[in-house]
């Protein structure tokens, strides 16, 4: 895969080269123009990844994992062995019991580096899950109501976590500012709309908050892709990114979620795959930036169907220039396991883990790695 080049920079370089060649022609006679130095295009490896943010909590509950031979093995080693080369980890500000807090994330990220895998950091800017249905402020930020003050908190939290990772020897390749922020984040200050329509200054407020995370991340890891992330890749979201850019929003790439068996139950999974692929190709052209599928998953109740749907989707992603990769969300879940908080909240166990009841990777993950 190829990283997009900055067009303005290329034009400037071309003008400079032409000027140099003209000067050399005046100084030298009866000689050919010097051969221009070719532009070097950096190659990007395709990321076959997994978000395994639950791994330490599962291990704490006594869960172990097995390789294809049935032998107990470290989860990172198992995923690397089937061809995965990247790990995604969510970050919460002050979570119950510490899971997905700064210290927990650093430990998991170090394990990824030791396994030879790249790291994506997913900032939720909440004490628990943030998604299109809820973008709750952390308890410690609950009384903050202005976008400028929240921007300061976002920058402070982003800096603190990334500095801890850097100190531990982790260099994230991708940094996500907010999780599935279709309707903004840190509600209600950073919310974009209500049932009555767009909130006055909503896009500006959200862009201010999001950009604070972007800029803080770039100060510590200037080479990382820093980006925003939306759900439902099969829906046309070009309007959203256009409005975000017009409000001054910054991003180096586009992050998307795609759950082909649940995002739109009125369409079959293969149709949703095709819609997502078409949208991804259009965004790459429209916004001159790469795209990453940061979350995907299929129902583990029918491994054969799920594996076919996932292979169809990943195979099509691989063929797209400037699609940088795909991450399966929490594939390691098996045997009806769920975090303790799920019981408290009355939630069922996650039903799209890609490991069998005995704790082994299933055929669903066969397409993750070549």
Show the tokens assigned to 64.
């172990």
Give the mean model confidence (pLDDT) for residues 64-68: 96
Instruction: Please confirm whether the linkage preceding 335 is cis (ω < 30° from 0).
Output: no
Whether 4 and 115 share a structural domain: no
Beta carbons of 94 and 101 less than 8 angstroms apart = yes
Q: Residue 121's beta-bridge partner residues?
A: 89, 175
**Are residues 263 and 224 located together in one domain of the fold?**
yes
- 120 and 5 in a single domain? The answer is no
Overall average pLDDT of the 352-362 stretch: 97
Q: Residue 43's pLDDT band (boundaries 50, 70, 90)?
A: low
Comparing CA positions, the residue from 120, 244, 118, 242 lying closest to residue 181 is: 244
The answer to the question of residue 100 being in a domain is: yes
In a domain, 194, yes or no: yes
Give the domain CATH number at 308: 3.20.20.80
> Could you tell me if 65 and 74 are in contact, meaning their C-beta atoms sit under 8 angstroms apart?
yes
**55 and 30 part of one domain:** no
Residues 144 and 23 in one domain: no
Q: Which residues share a beta bridge with 184?
A: 191
pLDDT, mean of residues 182-194: 98
Token pair belonging to 133:
């249905």
Which range has the worst mean pLDDT, 40-49, 137-146, 280-289? 40-49
Q: Based on the fold, state whether residues 116 and 14 are members of the same structural domain.
A: no
Res. 298: pLDDT tops 90: yes
Q: Is 64 exposed, middle or buried (0-12, 13-18, 19+ CB in 10 A)?
A: exposed
For residues 143 and 86, membership in a common domain is answered with yes
Treating both helix axes as pointing N-terminal to C-terminal, what angle do 269-287 and 238-246 enclose, rounded to 10 degrees? 30
User: What is the C-alpha to C-alpha distance for residues 77 and 50, in angstroms, rounded to an integer?
Assistant: 13
Across 302-307, average pLDDT: 98
- Tell whether 300 is covered by a domain: yes
| pLDDT at res. 20 | 36
pLDDT at 370: 66
193 within a domain of the structure (yes/no) = yes
Count of domains forming the chain: 2
184 and 35 co-located in one domain: no
Is residue 61 in some structural domain?
Answer: yes
Domain boundaries, position 129: 47-365
Hey, which residues does 193 pair with through a beta bridge? 198
Determine, yes or no, domain membership for 370: no
Q: Which spans in the chain are helix H? A: 7-27, 55-60, 75-81, 102-114, 147-167, 202-220, 238-246, 269-287, 303-318, 340-345
Phi, then psi, of 121 in degrees rounded to 5? -105, 130
Q: Are residues 14 and 117 in the same domain?
A: no
Q: Is 76 in the same domain as 96?
A: yes
Give 34's pLDDT tier (boundaries 50, 70, 90). Answer: very low
Q: How far is CA 337 from the centre of its chain?
A: 24
The answer on 308 and 200 residing in a single domain is yes
Using alpha carbons, select from 283, 302, 368 the residue that is nearest to residue 331. Answer: 368
Q: Specify the pLDDT at position 44.
A: 74
Tokens at residue 331, please?
A: 């594939």
pTM: 0.89
Q: Under a CB-based contact definition with an 8 Å cutoff, are residues 47 and 74 in contact?
A: no
Report the distance separating Cα 363 and Cα 308, nearest Å: 9
Question: Is 138's pLDDT higher than 70?
Answer: yes
pLDDT in tens, 251-290: 999 999 999 999 999 999 999 999 999 999 999 999 999 9
Rounded Cα gap, residues 245 and 272, in angstroms: 26
Asked if residue 59 and residue 38 are part of one domain, the reply reads no
Looking at the chain, the whole-number percentage of residues with pLDDT higher than 70 is: 88
DSSP one-letter string for 266-277: TS-HHHHHHHHH
Is residue 19 scored above 70 in pLDDT?
A: no
> Could you tell me the pLDDT band of residue 4, with boundaries at 50, 70 and 90?
very low
Mean pLDDT of the chain: 91
Task: Confirm if 240 and 230 have CB atoms less than 8 A apart.
Answer: yes
pLDDT of residue 14: 39
pLDDT at position 332 over 80: yes
Alpha carbons 201 and 255: distance in angstroms, whole number: 24
Q: What's the confidence (pLDDT) of residue 28?
A: 35
Q: Is residue 37 scored above 50 in pLDDT?
A: no
């Amino acid at each position: 895969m190829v990283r997009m080049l900055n067009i303005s920079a290329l034009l400037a370089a071309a003008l400079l080269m032409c000027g140099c060649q003209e000067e050399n022609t005046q100084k030298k006679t009866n000689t050919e123009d010097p051969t221009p130095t070719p532009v070097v295009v950096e190659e990007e490896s395709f990321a076959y990844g997994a978000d395994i943010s639950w791994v330490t909590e599962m291990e704490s509950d006594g869960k172990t994992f097995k390789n294809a031979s049935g032998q107990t093995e470290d989860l990172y080693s198992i995923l690397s062995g089937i061809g995965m080369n990247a790990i995604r980890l969510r970050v919460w500000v002050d979570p119950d019991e510490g899971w997905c807090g700064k210290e927990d994330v650093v430990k998991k990220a170090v394990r990824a580096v030791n396994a030879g895998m790249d790291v994506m950091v997913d900032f939720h800017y909440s004490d628990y899950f943030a998604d299109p249905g809820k973008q709750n402020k952390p308890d410690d930020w609950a009384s903050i109501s202005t976008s400028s003050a929240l921007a300061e908190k976002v920058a402070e939290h982003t800096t603190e976590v990334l500095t801890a990772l850097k100190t531990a020897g982790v260099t994230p390749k991708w940094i996500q500012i907010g999780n599935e922020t279709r309707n903004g984040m840190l509600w209600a200050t950073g919310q974009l709309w209500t049932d009555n329509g767009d909130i006055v200054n909503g896009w500006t407020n959200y862009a201010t908050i999001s950009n604070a995370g972007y800029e803080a991340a770039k100060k510590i890891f200037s080479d990382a892709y820093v980006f925003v992330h939306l759900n439902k890749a099969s829906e046309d979201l070009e309007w959203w990114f256009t409005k975000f850019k017009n409000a001054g929003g910054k991003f180096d790439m586009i992050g998307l979620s795609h759950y082909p068996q649940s995002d739109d139950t009125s369409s079959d999974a293969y149709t949703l795959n095709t819609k997502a692929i078409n949208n991804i190709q259009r965004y790459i052209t429209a916004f001159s930036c790469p795209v990453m599928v940061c979350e995907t998953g299929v129902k583990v109740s029918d491994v054969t169907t799920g594996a076919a749907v996932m292979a169809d989707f990943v195979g099509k992603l691989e063929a797209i220039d400037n699609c940088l990769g795909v991450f399966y969300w929490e594939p390691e879940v098996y045997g009806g396991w769920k975090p303790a908080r799920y019981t408290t909240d009355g939630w069922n166990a996650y039903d799209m883990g890609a490991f069998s009841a005995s704790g082994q990777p299933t055929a669903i993950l066969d397409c993750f790695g070549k």
